[in-house]
């Protein structure tokens, strides 16, 4: 038997006391660290654990035209708001909705059976009874394990019959409120839709906070786009119900937005979202030691968003709209526009890129209705025709095929086994072959000059009945399109609108497509791209991004347009890679198009009746309509004025006009320039 050693007890007790003392010293040291040395850190941490912040959006900034006329309207109103505690149950929400209905009114609520089922199951006893009555396979899986709470609830909701949801009209109003309350997340704030609140209702709801936990009065607003010729570019704003667009949620949340914030979803509203969005109201929710919501405190007051003013004067825009409508109606009356989708025009300031007008008249081919379609100037694409020939000549210079005002022979272009390709006047006048310069090629709109330039970019010189080698076809098309894109043709213009089209640029093409593209009969462009192209020529080869917004403005005391905060500056996209002397040749060619005296001059309509000197280029893209049975033209035009000091650049597109004897494009461009000169006299 082992003998017990009594001397070991004091040793063990001493060791135990030492350990206890060490633990106490550690705890005291930790408390010293927390309460003295690092007091601020832990006080902040404790405060953050007992409070949370929620934000709500403020009234949105407004959009004005260049003269200060509003294009949108905010309707501000007082609404019921609800901030949800993390401890609120469905039964709590049911009680709040019933009590709230005694203070507000709700008319004709539109409810689904699922919404009524959710209300029915908000009573815990009813929910428990409903779950217990479910078939076994609706409560347990195949292994006998109980289904998740979410699955159980869904099965319970689906088991509710219409007979169980036989609610009165007043009960349906409470259900309508309940479902809105239930849609608000924990520690979030949402606006509750009711009938418009009277001043008395606002006062009563505001004073009933004790019996309506989480309920308060807040400010909301409705956004209305006013009916103008610019309505289609204003865009839209999400609703309180939809909140942040699903595809942009993460990006917005990183910027401090809340899920239910209303944001711009298209065009100007989307492009200038962060400017138009008001400063958010920040509320701090304080929790007690049990985690229950104790109080709600306003930390930061919100304020209305900033305003934007456009470069477009609505009066001038409407004048251009009316002009287009008049021309189109005239062509409709003579049968020329029967198959046309409409007519479009863009006017830019070539020195700044400011958009002066972006006008469109859309023709419904089925009903015949004409409607404003300014958005179509950046979304619709068309075959441009000969207006692009300055870009083709530029490509010849850039790729060493042409030199200066080089002379080529204008003649019918005949390849082995193919029909002749003629300039329009060869067919009209039977002129045969004669020398022609780059300036004359623009003035007379020579297809032959462009084809010979395109062949040169393939490393070949035209010879009658030649066989064209296509081993350098893709390279040549790439070079041609590269120059076109320097002018903005087939490239993003840089305009301050989202989702603009960059044109239709087919990746599959053959030799015929390449050659016809040299005179504008293959790739498709938007009217805005064509306007940027001619503005670049007018601006001596400097391509500027078009911009619709002139500046950002503050709010005045009445909440309207205040002082300028930030002016929009011009953005240079690139410079055309040609010499000043070559650019001067293009200017001379465009001048001759409008002012030339030869019977072959193509654009005298620019000058006839013009109030200032206009330079420009016409374009006729051939097509067929009515199932290929009727010949039609895209009668297009680009122009700038005054010739010596360009202040406006214009592009006009009139597709599928079957009136082949009349070129309305340059006449429309001239009249737009005359209108601008009337509104803003040019020197």
Write out the catalytic residue numbers: 386
Question: What does the chain come to in residues?
Answer: 683
CA distances from 613 to 582, 592, 595, 636, 670 (A): 21, 11, 9, 19, 10
CA trace torsion 432, 437, 439, 443 (10° rounding)? 0
CA trace torsion 596, 598, 604, 609 (10° rounding)? 80
Tokens 């009945």 map to which residue?
A: 465
Strands (E), 383-460: 408-410, 434-436
- Which two three-digit tokens encode residue 620? 């006729």
DSSP labels, 80-140: EEEE--TT--HHHHHHHHHHHTTTS---S----HHHHHHHHTTSHHHHHHHHHTS-GGGTB
The region that residue 637 occupies, defined by phi over 0 for left and psi between -120 and 50 for alpha, beta otherwise, is: beta
- C-alpha 99/C-alpha 173 separation (Å) is 11
Question: Do 363 and 373 meet the contact criterion of CB atoms below 8 Å apart?
Answer: no
Question: Do 653 and 621 meet the contact criterion of CB atoms below 8 Å apart?
Answer: no
Q: Torsions phi, psi of 42, nearest 5?
A: -75, -30
Question: Do 550 and 516 meet the contact criterion of CB atoms below 8 Å apart?
Answer: no
509-544: b or e for each residue (b if 16 or more CB lie within 10 Å)? Answer: bebeebbbbbbbbbbbbbbbbbbbbbbbbbbbbbbb
Least Cα distance to 537 among 410, 454, 442 occurs for: 442
Dihedral sign from CA coordinates of 175, 180, 181, 182: positive
């Amino acid at each position: 038997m082992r003998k017990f050693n009594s001397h070991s007890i004091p040793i063990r007790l001493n060791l135990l006391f030492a350990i206890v003392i060490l633990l106490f010293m550690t705890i005291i040291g930790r408390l010293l660290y927390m309460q003295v040395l690092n007091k601020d850190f832990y006080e902040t941490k404790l405060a953050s654990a007992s409070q949370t912040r929620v934000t709500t959006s403020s009234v949105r900034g407004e959009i004005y035209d260049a003269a200060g006329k509003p294009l949108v309207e905010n309707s501000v109103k007082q609404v019921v708001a609800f901030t949800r505690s993390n401890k609120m149950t469905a039964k709590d929400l049911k009680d709040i909705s019933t009590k709230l209905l005694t203070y507000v009114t709700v008319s004709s609520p539109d409810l689904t059976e699922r919404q009524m089922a959710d209300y029915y199951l908000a009573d815990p006893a009813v929910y428990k009874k409903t779950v217990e009555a479910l078939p076994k396979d609706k409560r347990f899986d195949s292994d006998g394990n109980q289904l998740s709470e979410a699955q159980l609830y869904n099965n319970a909701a689906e088991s509710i019959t219409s007979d169980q949801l036989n609610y009165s009209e007043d009960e349906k109003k409470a259900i309508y409120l309940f479902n809105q309350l239930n849609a608000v997340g924990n520690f979030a704030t949402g606006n509750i839709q009711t009938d418009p609140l009277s001043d008395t209702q606002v006062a009563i709801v505001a004073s009933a906070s004790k019996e309506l936990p989480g309920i308060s009065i807040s400010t909301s607003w409705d956004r209305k786009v006013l009916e103008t010729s610019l309505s289609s570019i204003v865009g839209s704003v999400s609703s309180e119900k939809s909140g942040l667009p699903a595809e942009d949620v993460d990006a917005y949340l990183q910027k401090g937005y809340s899920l239910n914030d209303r944001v711009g979803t298209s065009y100007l509203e989307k492009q200038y979202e962060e400017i138009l969005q008001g400063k958010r109201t920040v509320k701090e929710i304080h929790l007690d030691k049990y985690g229950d919501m104790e109080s709600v405190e306003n930390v930061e007051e919100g304020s209305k968003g900033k305003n934007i003013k456009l470069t477009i004067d609505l009066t001038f825009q409407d004048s251009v709209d009316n002009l287009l409508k008049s021309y189109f109606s005239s062509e409709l009356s003579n049968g020329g526009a029967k198959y046309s989708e409409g007519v479009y025009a863009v006017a830019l300031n070539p020195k700044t890129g400011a958009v002066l007008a972006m006008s469109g008249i859309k023709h419904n081919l089925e009903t015949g209705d004409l409607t404003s379609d300014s958005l179509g100037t950046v979304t619709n694409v068309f075959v441009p025709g000969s207006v692009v020939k300055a870009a083709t000549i530029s490509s010849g210079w850039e790729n060493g095929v042409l030199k200066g005002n080089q002379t080529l022979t204008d003649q019918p272009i005949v390849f082995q086994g193919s029909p002749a390709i003629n300039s329009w006047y060869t067919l009209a006048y039977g002129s045969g072959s004669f020398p022609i310069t780059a300036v004359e090629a623009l003035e007379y709109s020579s297809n032959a000059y462009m084809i010979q330039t395109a062949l040169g970019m393939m490393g070949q010189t035209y010879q009658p009945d030649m066989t064209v080698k296509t081993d350098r076809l893709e390279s040549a098309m790439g070079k041609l399109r590269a120059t076109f894109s320097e002018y903005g043709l087939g490239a993003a213009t840089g305009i301050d609108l989202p989702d603009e089209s960059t044109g239709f640029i087919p990746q599959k093409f053959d030799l015929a497509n390449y050659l016809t593209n040299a005179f504008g009969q293959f790739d498709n462009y938007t009217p805005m791209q064509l306007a940027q192209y001619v503005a670049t020529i007018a601006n001596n080869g400097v391509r500027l991004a078009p911009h619709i917004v002139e500046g950002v403005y503050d709010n005045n005391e009445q909440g309207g347009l205040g002082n300028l905060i930030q002016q929009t500056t011009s953005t240079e996209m690139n410079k055309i890679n040609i010499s000043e002397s070559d650019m001067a040749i293009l200017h001379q060619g465009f001048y001759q198009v409008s002012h030339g005296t030869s019977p072959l001059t193509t654009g005298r309509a620019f000058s006839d009746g013009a109030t200032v000197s206009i330079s420009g280029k016409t374009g006729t893209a051939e097509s067929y309509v009515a199932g290929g049975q009727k010949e039609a033209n895209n009668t297009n035009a680009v122009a700038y004025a005054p010739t010596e000091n360009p202040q406006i650049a214009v592009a006009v597109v009139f597709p599928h006009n079957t009136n082949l004897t009349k070129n309305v494009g340059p006449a429309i461009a001239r009249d737009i320039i005359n209108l601008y000169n009337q509104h803003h006299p040019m020197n």
